[in-house]
Amino acid sequence: MEVFAVIMAGGVGSRFWPRSKKEKPKQLLKIFGENTMIQDTVNRLKGIVDIKNILIVTNQLQTPRLKKQLPDLPSENIIVEPFGKNTAPCIGLAAMIVKNRCKDSVMMVLPADHLINDKEKFQATLNFAVQEAEKKKGLLTIGIQPTRPETGYGYIQIDDESLNNENKNLIGKVKTFAEKPNYETAKRFVEAGDFLWNSGMFIWHTEAILNEIKIYMSDLYDGLLKIEEAIQSNTLESTIVEVYGMVKSTSIDYGVMEKSRSVFCIKGEFDWNDVGSWEAVYQISEKDENENVKIGDVYLSKTKGSYIYSPHKFAAVLGVSDLIIIDASESLLVCRREDSQKVKQIVDYLKMNKKNHLT
């Protein structure tokens, strides 16, 4: 058996506008430290997955920068989607490619842009998950113990009757998946005690996920069979375009995970954040005595609880509180921290009105 890692890196990170753009989205940015988020994601896998078994699914615009940032990654391991169709086609495409490289394989599916500080615990969780995926031939996802009523994350509810008492890491079967809730609902989830944050990370035997796609997403599976034929006949690129033109845009959660009876959840004990907004960046970042975070030549007076990013020009901020200010040279964002999840509305506006500032 071989272990593969599939990293999903095709998103545009719209909640990180104006820094995150189509050609250089969140995963290709240096937000924490000297590495980009995709570089940190790949580095966390060292020692448990060989670089030749790490695949990245992305789009054509991001491919040149990915190759530059990850020079050790074989170029054939960058899988290009012609356009985004959500996570189910992305994962199905990668699974079919992995299957044709090694039929007896377990694949991890990981987002490209999460912040995980405890590499040792993270790797221990993945190693345990790989062993369980090989034994159970089921679908495993990783849940994170909630520390607060978070409205920016999805949730996973565990079936109490299936709790595994032999190993505390394997929680049990998944009962339900819940979308991002409002605050009151999130509070009830945390108080209930049987909900975990949905990390968006999956581990399964490659044949297992393909079988589940066959059962619950037959149209997608038919397309994947065409892709399998194309792999063997060297017509992969054109066939992917053809298949993606026909399949529906569906998440793996909705298409498979919410329907399957073979979904298990493992509790991740590591420090995790999906860094889904500028507010999340503020919360994680080191702050001064007035709870401010500043990047660049920034002058502050009577300002509290704010995040200011202005590396290209001097910025002065006076008498405000709880703001996000992002100066990306050609674009400027100013919003209250509590509204940071709404930044996507700006991207939608720019798209609708065919304005620049997105590439």
Q: In the prediction, which pLDDT does 234 show? A: 82
d(CA 194, CA 191): 8
Q: In the prediction, which pLDDT does 24 show? A: 86
Backbone angles phi and psi of 34, in degrees to 5:
-95, -15
Assess whether pLDDT exceeds 70 at residue 251.
Answer: yes
Same domain, yes or no, for 28 and 160? yes
Q: In the prediction, which pLDDT does 330 show? A: 84
Same domain, yes or no, for 196 and 328? no
Same domain, yes or no, for 108 and 201? yes
Of the candidates 291, 342, 302, the residue with the CA atom closest to the CA atom of residue 17: 342
Alpha helices in 234-277 (DSSP H): 236-244, 252
Of the candidates 54, 57, 70, 69, the residue with the CA atom closest to the CA atom of residue 126: 54
Same domain, yes or no, for 58 and 161? yes
Q: In the prediction, which pLDDT does 306 show? A: 98
Token pair, residue 255, equals 């298409």
Contact criterion met (CB below 8 Å) for 15 and 277? yes
d(CA 251, CA 232): 27
Q: In the prediction, which pLDDT does 169 show? A: 56
What range defines the domain where residue 346 resides? 278-352
Decide which of 356 and 53 is more confident.
Answer: 53
- State the average pLDDT over residues 253-280: 92
Same domain, yes or no, for 223 and 262? yes
Same domain, yes or no, for 232 and 303? no
CB atoms within 10 A of CB 239: 17
Q: In the prediction, which pLDDT does 137 show? A: 76
Backbone angles phi and psi of 279, in degrees to 5:
-60, -40
Assess whether pLDDT exceeds 60 at residue 311.
Answer: yes
Assess whether pLDDT exceeds 90 at residue 229.
Answer: yes
Classified as helix, coil or strand, 273 is strand
Contact criterion met (CB below 8 Å) for 310 and 331? no
Q: Last residue of a domain, which of 217, 240, 273?
A: 273
Q: In the prediction, which pLDDT does 359 show? A: 62
- State the average pLDDT over residues 257-267: 92
Backbone angles phi and psi of 266, in degrees to 5:
-105, 135
- State the average pLDDT over residues 13-37: 90
**What mean pLDDT value characterizes the chain?**
92
Contact criterion met (CB below 8 Å) for 159 and 173? yes
Domain count for the chain, please give it.
2
- State the average pLDDT over residues 229-234: 89
Q: In the prediction, which pLDDT does 21 show? A: 84
Same domain, yes or no, for 228 and 247? yes
Q: Last residue of a domain, which of 254, 273, 292?
A: 273
Q: Last residue of a domain, which of 273, 307, 329?
A: 273
Same domain, yes or no, for 142 and 254? yes
Assess whether pLDDT exceeds 90 at residue 204.
Answer: yes
Same domain, yes or no, for 286 and 239? no
Instruction: Tell me the CA distances in angstroms from 333 to 165, 204, 330, 340, 344, one per residue in order.
Output: 49, 40, 11, 10, 12
The 10s digit of each residue's pLDDT in 153-201 is: 999 998 865 555 455 556 678 999 999 999 999 999 999 989 999 999 9
Same domain, yes or no, for 299 and 333? yes
- Residue at 236 is within a domain: yes
Helices (runs of H) and strands (runs of E) counted in the chain: 11, 15
Q: In the prediction, which pLDDT does 41 show? A: 97
- Residue at 122 is within a domain: yes
Q: What share of the chain is helix, strand, coil (3-state, %, to 5)?
A: 40, 25, 35
The 10s digit of each residue's pLDDT in 70-122 is: 999 999 999 999 999 999 999 999 999 999 999 999 999 999 999 998 999 99
Q: In the prediction, which pLDDT does 23 show? A: 81
8 CB-near residues (< 8 Å, 6+ apart): 57, 87, 90, 91, 109, 110, 111, 112
Torsion, Cα 338 343 349 354, to 10 degrees, reads: 160
d(CA 247, CA 59): 17
pTM metric for this prediction: 0.91
Q: In the prediction, which pLDDT does 108 show? A: 98
Of the candidates 246, 224, 248, the residue with the CA atom closest to the CA atom of residue 236: 224
- Indicate the pairing of strand 263-268 with strand 170-178: antiparallel
Q: In the prediction, which pLDDT does 351 show? A: 86
Q: In the prediction, which pLDDT does 152 show? A: 84
- Residue at 357 is within a domain: no
